[in-house]
Amino acid sequence: MPTYYDTEVTSRLMLGTAQYPSPAILAEAFKRSGAGIATVSVRREAGGERAGQAFWDMIGDLGVHVLPNTAGCHSVREAVTTAQMARELFDTNWVKLEVIGHADTLQPDPFGLVEAARILTDDGFQVFPYCTEDLVLCERLVEAGCRVLMPWGAPIGTGLGLNNIYGLRSLRAHFPDLPLVIDAGLGVPSQAAHAMELGYDAVLLNTAVAKAGDPAAMAEGFARALEAGRLGYEADPMEPRDMAAPSTPVLGRAFT
């Protein structure tokens, strides 16, 4: 099972906590999938609102690791300050670092991402960077202190799956020992199985589960796909080939 910054997690599924029809369905999705990490955020709260405490209590009941994000931050300054506020609220050094560079695609700003990762690592954070599959960017993130990488499969919330198989394969080959997590863009379980077959360590989902007609069933579907894909990866798959090769013995065929 994957180990992030010396913490082993008993699941290959990280699950977001946003957009569910109800808190009960959210909890059921975690229960049925066995997801080991919940991503969370910080948002403005009004005086007397107390919504944060209620959410905090609910997350505590899930019994999973908590990974705060810096979602929506478009500058290094915003991301660093958000991470610092999240660390105090959630009492963890983990942060899913998002520095968004493009409003339409929610594509990471690679330059800001590396700068923020360096600042946060120096400040004692353990950074999970939401990045692209660009090899040079990922090298810079590792140099900045990141010990896990979270490339997108496709833009956040699209459900398009793994858009750049070659790039993701290259990244896996380039960092054979680093935990690699597909963060964002998955829509259906087969895409998660494919990520596992590429040798990825985990996937992070939110919209695909929360916006499914039956979120808890979809969460379980993803969990099973992750298990199937990982088993396939570990079982050393056959090499594809262009020409047909009979699987039934040729020798002894009738009429020859």
Partner 1 sequence: MKITVNGTAQETAAETLDALLIEQGYGEAKVATAVNETFVPAALRPEQRLNEGDRVEIVAPRQGG
List the catalytic residues: 96
Please pick, from the candidates 89, 165, 188, 217, the single residue that binds partner 1 as defined by CB under 8 A.
89
Encode 101-110: b = buried (16+ Cβ within 10 Å), e = exposed.
eeeeebbbbb
Please pick, from the candidates 207, 216, 225, 226, the single residue that binds partner 1 as defined by CB under 8 A.
207
Name the residue nearer to partner 1 (CB basis): 59 or 223.
Answer: 59
How near is the Cβ of 26 to partner 1 at its closest, in Å? 8
- Residue 42's closest CA among 4, 78, 5, 77? 78
User: Using the rule CB under 8 A, is 85 a contact of partner 1?
Assistant: yes
* Pairing between β-strand 202-205 and β-strand 150-151 as defined by DSSP bridges: unpaired
Residue 16, helix vs strand vs coil: strand
Please pick, from the candidates 4, 11, 33, 68, the single residue that binds partner 1 as defined by CB under 8 A.
68
* Interactions with partner 1, residue window 156-185 (CB under 8 A): 156
User: Using the rule CB under 8 A, is 33 a contact of partner 1?
Assistant: no
Name the residue nearer to partner 1 (CB basis): 80 or 149.
Answer: 80
Report the first-to-last Cα separation within the chain, whole angstroms.
52
Binding part of the chain for partner 1, among 33-41, 137-145, 162-170, 212-220 by CB under 8 A, reads 33-41
Compute the radius of gyration of the chain from its Cα atoms.
20
Distance in angstroms (rounded) separating the CA atoms of residues 34 and 44: 30
How near is the Cβ of 89 to partner 1 at its closest, in Å? 5
For the record, the structure tokens of 12 come out as: 């290959």
- Residue 12's closest CA among 34, 41, 39, 40? 34
User: Using the rule CB under 8 A, is 124 a contact of partner 1?
Assistant: no
Amino acid letter at 221? G
Residues that bind partner 1 (CB under 8 A): 16-20, 39-53, 55-56, 59, 68-69, 71, 77-78, 81-82, 84-86, 88-90, 156, 204, 206-207
